[in-house]
């Protein structure tokens, strides 16, 4: 009996949504109210005003949303930004050719004139944020129906945004927090002229590849450098040769003092999405249904791409970005399944829900407000799980890394409709399609594409019930008796969308009838129509119901928590996490220390494997122990771990010490705790960062770009040899 009671108590402790000292993604404007005292007790030596201020320059002014899904930070007063190599990967790839393979060989601009423009890339800086909950909910009453409520809220948000940016070049958005129980106004400034400055070879920046991804110990130099440009008044401007380096309000001093076990750390960045307060039904759906199917599908795709890339350098250039994107999600899903199983994640959520219902039952008013929450979740997820799977799987099959020609062909649907209506905007649409096709074929190989087609079509037939398969798929499967390898070559020979010249000819003399007859266009339309007619409505209705239910459940959890301080789920807004440098127990009798070194890189060196082929120059520097002021104890620190709570979007985030100095750049999480998006595990949730000393060493010694270090504010005394 004692054992059983102890187990239940432990489950409840892990399930409780109240934040621990090292758990949480905190809103910077509320640091003074909720966090600063605990941060200072744990070693932080500055103030909340140093982190976030609208009256003077502060750390928030040095942190940027990089592109659409990463973080970067200013490290000089000349607009120099450091982020991850994998965040800059697509831009490095776009500049790479067989003659100038910056992915393989790296890239270092010797001057501002050699920095490379990146059309479409922007960085965004938070100007300020403000709690506008009362303004958003003005005029809303409890007895109001949802349609009227949404109408008032949307009108209020429109007015708030208009007032916030009036007379400025800023952009604003009102974002829900705590699943719609609170609203913040976010006012940003965006810069569109962002140029590539430097990146190490992929053998350093992506060292270990997919094998080491989501794993500790790690030996990756995962960083790249960009520069933000502005007009002569330091304002955002489109790319122009007349633009000058941007002068940020604040940039991080860069510390060469190093890290040690127990040091205070904080991560300041733009985490994407977490689901910390989701019910057990949601976690079970992902862990037991969605993830296993997607892992199987993506594993097949990755295998095809990697085998082809190993044989042909040009194919590697074309498919490295796709492969990396797939592999990142594929391996994360595997880790989440294993981590949730190890923590008994679903059981822990169920244990919390059991106690939650006891709390509800103790008060008639709570029964009225919250008594049906879990029953409603059960009802929704009974059908939502299936629909979610079919929708996700269909998109995965007919998307850009599945039946590739179908993803291209589907982009022509609007042009077909415009042609039938004799829309005068058709020429503009065709010009857009030509630009899209140029990018598509830059990353396309017919042989690889055929293999992907055969693999995903086979899996689609095996894993999706016939009732939910597309009409075009079923007809094709019947005609070839399920042997897609038998017909792949013929289909690719005939299709417009498998050949760049045929696509160019189509665009120059557009014939919608030819498009409509193409097998891959019909596949794309059939998939789109199936999801639109049979899934989209059901999913949208369920999502709307879940949004309302999630909001209510969040409010109930906070009410139950009493004085406990909650942090909101990540929603791609600026957040702060803090903790300490520390190792962890990986599994029975295996303890991982907090730091890796260049010795570990050399131990993994294998010229036969692309991801482990250490560049000769790095070997030379290691053999000579030519580490400059960045080495320690006869070696070169490479990466370190801490227990900061991070997720996707934190890639590239600054990792700061107690003085607010940059000591690392966050890039990953440890495998055992990767389920922290849904359930933080204090024993094993660790964020992985490149030690900033390794980045500085590579810039100076490998890239011969010491002028970039001269731009930085270098602080701290190098670690001495004990």
Model pLDDT, residue 720: 58
CB-CB contact of 80 with 695 (8 Å): no
Q: What is the pLDDT of residues 117-159, one digit of tens each?
A: 999 999 999 999 999 999 999 999 988 888 999 999 999 999 9
Across 236-246, average pLDDT: 97
Residue with tokens 């037939």: 461
The 10 Å CB-count burial string (b at 16+, else e) for 133-168 is eebbeeeeeeeeeeeebeebbeebbeebbeebeeee
Model pLDDT, residue 9: 35
Across 153-173, average pLDDT: 97
Model pLDDT, residue 722: 38
pLDDT exceeding 90 applies to what percent of the chain? Answer: 92
Reply yes or no on whether the pLDDT at 222 is more than 50: yes
Model pLDDT, residue 325: 86
Across 433-447, average pLDDT: 95
The 10 Å CB-count burial string (b at 16+, else e) for 191-213 is bbbbbbbbbbbbbbbbbbbbebb
Catalytic residue among 651, 653, 676, 689: 651
Model pLDDT, residue 445: 96
Reply yes or no on whether the pLDDT at 572 is more than 70: yes
Q: Compute the radius of gyration of the chain from its Cα atoms.
A: 26
Across 529-546, average pLDDT: 96
Residue with tokens 């599994």: 587
Residue 6: pLDDT band (50, 70, 90) is very low
Q: Between these two residues, 607 and 142, which has the higher pLDDT value? A: 607
Reply yes or no on whether the pLDDT at 7 is more than 90: no
Reply yes or no on whether the pLDDT at 181 is more than 80: yes
Non-local (6+) Cβ contacts of 323 within 8 A are 210, 302, 305, 306, 309
Model pLDDT, residue 21: 53
Cis ω for the linkage preceding 217 (within 30 of 0):
yes
What domains sit in the chain, N to C, each tagged with a CATH number?
Answer: 14-122+192-268+569-722 (2.40.10.120), 280-558 (no CATH)
Model pLDDT, residue 506: 97
Across 232-236, average pLDDT: 98
Reply yes or no on whether the pLDDT at 382 is more than 50: yes
Q: DSSP letters of 405-421?
A: HHHHHHTTHHHHHHHHT
Give the SS3 label for residue 491: helix
Judged by average pLDDT, the poorest of 300-309, 573-582, 607-616, 698-707 is 607-616
Q: What is the pLDDT of residues 314-346, one digit of tens each?
A: 999 899 889 988 988 999 999 999 999 999 999
Q: Does the active-site annotation cover 222?
A: yes
Average pLDDT, the chain: 94
Model pLDDT, residue 3: 35
Residue 245: pLDDT band (50, 70, 90) is very high
Q: How far is CA 475 from the centre of its chain?
A: 38
CA dihedral defined by 316, 320, 326, 327, rounded to 10 degrees? Answer: 80
> Degrees (nearest 5) of the Cα angle 273, 539, 148?
85
| C-alpha–C-alpha distance, residues 612 and 402, integer Å | 28
Residue with tokens 């702060």: 576
Reply yes or no on whether the pLDDT at 264 is more than 90: yes
The closest of 43, 15, 28, 18 to 579, measured between CA atoms, is: 43
Catalytic residue among 86, 219, 594, 645: 86
Give the SS3 label for residue 138: coil
CB atoms within 10 A of CB 111: 7
Classify residue 288 by its DSSP letter. I
Catalytic residue among 61, 101, 193, 222: 222
Angle (deg, nearest 10), helices 291-311 and 446-463: 160
User: Tokens in use for 545?
Assistant: 């119901």
Reply yes or no on whether the pLDDT at 14 is more than 60: no
Locate the DSSP E strands across 102-170.
Answer: 107-108, 116-117, 123-131
Reply yes or no on whether the pLDDT at 19 is more than 70: no
Q: Between these two residues, 18 and 524, which has the higher pLDDT value? A: 524
Model pLDDT, residue 429: 96
Residue 436: pLDDT band (50, 70, 90) is very high
Reply yes or no on whether the pLDDT at 25 is more than 60: yes
Residue with tokens 């059908």: 383
* pTM: predicted TM-score of the whole model, two decimal places: 0.90
């Amino acid at each position: 009996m004692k054992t059983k009671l102890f187990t239940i108590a432990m489950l409840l402790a892990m399930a409780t949504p109240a934040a621990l000292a090292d758990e949480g993604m905190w809103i910077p404007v509320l640091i003074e109210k909720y966090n600063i005292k605990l941060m200072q007790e744990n070693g932080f030596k500055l103030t909340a005003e140093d982190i976030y201020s609208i009256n003077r320059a502060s750390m928030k002014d040095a942190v940027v949303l990089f592109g659409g899904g990463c973080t970067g930070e200013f490290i000089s007063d000349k607009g120099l930004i450091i982020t991850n190599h994998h965040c800059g990967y697509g831009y490095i790839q776009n500049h790479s050719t067989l003659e100038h393979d910056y992915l393989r060989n790296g890239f270092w601009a010797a001057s501002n004139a050699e920095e490379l423009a990146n059309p479409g890339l922007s960085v965004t800086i938070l100007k300020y944020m403000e709690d506008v909950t009362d303004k958003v909910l003005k005029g809303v009453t409890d007895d109001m129906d949802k349609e009227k409520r949404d109408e008032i809220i949307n009108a209020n948000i429109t007015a708030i945004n208009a007032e916030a940016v009036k007379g400025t070049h800023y952009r604003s958005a009102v974002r829900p927090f705590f699943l719609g129980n609170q609203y913040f106004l976010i006012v940003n400034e965006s810069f569109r002229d962002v140029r590539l400055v430097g990146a190490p070879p992929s053998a350093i920046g992506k060292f270990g590849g997919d094998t080491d991804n989501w794993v500790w110990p790690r030996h990756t130099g995962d960083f790249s450098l960009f520069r933000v440009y502005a007009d002569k008044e330091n304002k955002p401007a489109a790319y122009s040769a007349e633009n000058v380096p941007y002068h940020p309000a604040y940039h991080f001093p860069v510390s060469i003092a190093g890290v040690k076990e127990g040091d205070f750390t904080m991560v300041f960045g733009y985490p994407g999405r977490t689901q910390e307060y989701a019910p057990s039904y949601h976690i079970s759906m992902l862990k037991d249904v969605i993830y296993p199917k997607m892992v199987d599908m993506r594993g097949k795709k990755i295998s095809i791409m990697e085998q082809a890339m190993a044989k042909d350098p040009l194919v590697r250039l074309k498919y490295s970005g796709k492969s990396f994107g797939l592999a990142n999600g594929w391996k994360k899903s595997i880790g989440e399944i294993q981590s949730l199983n190890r923590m008994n994640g679903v059981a822990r959520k169920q244990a919390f829900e059991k106690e939650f219902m006891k709390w509800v039952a103790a008060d008639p008013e709570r029964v009225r407000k919250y008594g049906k929450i879990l029953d409603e979740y059960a009802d929704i997820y009974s059908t939502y799980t299936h629909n979610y799977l079919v929708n996700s799987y269909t998109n995965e099959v007919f998307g850009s890394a599945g039946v590739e020609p179908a993803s291209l062909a589907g982009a022509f649907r609007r042009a077909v409709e415009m042609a039938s209506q004799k829309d005068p905007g058709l020429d503009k649409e065709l010009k857009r399609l030509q630009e899209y096709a140029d990018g598509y074929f830059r990353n396309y190989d017919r042989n690889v594409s055929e293999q992907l087609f055969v693999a995903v079509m086979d899996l689609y037939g095996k894993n999706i019930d016939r009732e939910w398969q597309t009409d075009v798929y079923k007809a094709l499967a019947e005609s070839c008796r399920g042997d897609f390898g038998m017909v792949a070559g013929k289909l690719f020979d005939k299709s417009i969308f498998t050949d760049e010249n045929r696509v160019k000819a189509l665009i120059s003399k557009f014939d919608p009838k030819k498009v409509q007859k193409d097998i891959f266009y019909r596949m794309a339309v059939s998939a789109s129509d199936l999801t639109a007619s049979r899934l989209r409505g059901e999913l949208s209705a369920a999502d709307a119901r879940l949004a309302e239910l999630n909001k209510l459940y969040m409010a109930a959890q906070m009410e139950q928590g009493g004085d406990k301080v909650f942090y909101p789920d990540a929603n791609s807004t600026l957040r702060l996490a803090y903790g300490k440098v520390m190792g962890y127990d990986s599994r029975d009798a295996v303890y991982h220390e907090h730091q890796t070194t260049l010795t570990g890189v050399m131990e993994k060196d294998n010229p036969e494997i692309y991801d482990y082929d250490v560049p000769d120059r790095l070997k030379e520097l290691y053999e000579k122990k030519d580490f400059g002021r960045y080495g320690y104890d006869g070696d070169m620190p490479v990466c370190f771990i801490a227990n900061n709570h991070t997720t996707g979007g934190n890639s590239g985030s600054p990792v700061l010490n107690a003085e607010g100095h940059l000591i690392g750049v966050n890039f990953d999480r440890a495998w055992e705790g990767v389920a922290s998006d849904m359930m933080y595990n204090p024993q094993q949730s660790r964020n992985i960062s490149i030690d900033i000393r390794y980045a500085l060493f590579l810039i100076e010694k490998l890239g011969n770009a010491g002028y970039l270090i001269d731009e930085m504010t270098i602080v701290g005394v190098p670690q001495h040899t004990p």
